[in-house]
């Protein structure tokens, strides 16, 4: 996982993990928004195909292609090519990729809680993308508060 340094006022869930460093006030962001989303997407569906995923995740062809190549190179995703016409390619998690999912889940929950503690905006997609019961159970208080604030701002 890469570490990027910079400053940011708003980050989305664990796609960009937010830590406030003591002293200089800079932010550390680990991971890549698209990589985490792709891994979660493959985990959720069991396998993905390129064009379907591009539409579903709303990412550019270039970004999706680059991220899938990196995930494959890192040994987290396996690319399966079928010798059919037209060519069919699927991506699945490797055992190493499957082992990473629980860690990403922990980072997601931690980052939502941290953003809430720091009173930083939470990307609305954070709750849409991770809507399984295991996340709702751990983040119900924050989700409820977030939805209440959204309803108040809509009025």
Q: What percent of the chain has pLDDT over 70?
A: 70
Report whether pLDDT(153) > 70.
Answer: no
pLDDT recorded at residue 24? 37
Summarize the confidence of residues 69-84 as an average pLDDT. 94
pLDDT in tens, 12-53: 333 344 333 333 343 433 356 688 889 988 998 899 999 888
pLDDT recorded at residue 125? 67
> Residue 120 — very low, low, confident or very high, per pLDDT cuts 50/70/90?
confident
> Residue 75 — very low, low, confident or very high, per pLDDT cuts 50/70/90?
very high
How far is residue 2's CA from residue 143's CA, in Å, rounded to a whole number? 29
Q: What is the pTM of this model?
A: 0.65
pLDDT recorded at residue 19? 38
Summarize the confidence of residues 98-118 as an average pLDDT. 88
DSSP string, 92-151: EE-HHHHHHHHHHHHHHHHHHHHHHHTT--B-THHHHHS-SHHHHHHHHHHHHHHHHHHH
């Amino acid at each position: 996982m890469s570490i990027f340094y910079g400053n940011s006022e708003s980050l989305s869930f664990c796609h960009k993990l937010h830590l406030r460093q003591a002293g200089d006030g800079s932010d550390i962001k680990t991971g890549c928004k698209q990589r985490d989303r792709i891994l979660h997407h493959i985990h959720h569906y069991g396998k993905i195909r390129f064009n379907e995923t591009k539409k579903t995740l709303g990412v550019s062809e270039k970004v999706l292609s680059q991220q899938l190549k990196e995930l494959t190179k890192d040994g987290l995703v396996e690319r399966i090519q079928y010798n059919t016409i037209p060519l069919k390619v699927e991506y699945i998690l490797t055992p190493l990729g499957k082992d990473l999912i629980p860690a990403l889940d922990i980072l997601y929950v931690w980052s939502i809680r941290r953003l809430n503690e720091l009173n930083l905006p939470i990307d609305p997609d954070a709750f849409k993308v991770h809507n399984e019961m295991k996340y709702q159970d751990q983040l119900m208080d924050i989700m409820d508060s977030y939805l209440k604030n959204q309803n108040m701002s809509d009025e």
